[in-house]
Amino acid sequence: MEVGLKIKEYLEKNGISQAYVSRTAKINAVKLNLGLNGKRRFTFQEYSFICGVLGVNTDRFLQPRLPNGNKKEGNIE
């Protein structure tokens, strides 16, 4: 699931409005809505502001991955 969709689900489950997040994180409402619907990627700064507003760590909605889509196995040298 895309990061934006995970955040949108979190907002819905916790009764938090997009307007509140937009206003508090100082992110344009249209940009926020596009990101939450998977039609735009958030910048890392926007993402960190959203997490700050929600009071969660930045790893809350992200999963580590490698460029080829494989999970990390053992140590990379």
**pLDDT greater than 70 at residue 73:** no
CA distance 36 to 52: 16
Using alpha carbons, list the distances in angstroms from residue 37 to 47, 63, 77.
14, 19, 38
Asked whether residue 29 is assigned to any structural domain, the reply reads yes
What pLDDT digit, counting tens, does each position of 4-58 carry? 999 999 999 999 999 999 999 999 999 999 999 999 999 999 999 999 999 999 9
**pLDDT greater than 80 at residue 69:** no
Whether the full predicted model's pTM is greater than 0.85, yes or no, is no
Neighbours of 4 (CB within 10 A): 22
Asked whether residue 41 is assigned to any structural domain, the reply reads yes
Asked whether residue 61 is assigned to any structural domain, the reply reads no
- What's the pLDDT score for residue 66? 87
Asked whether residue 32 is assigned to any structural domain, the reply reads yes
Asked whether residue 71 is assigned to any structural domain, the reply reads no
Q: How many domains does the chain have?
A: 1
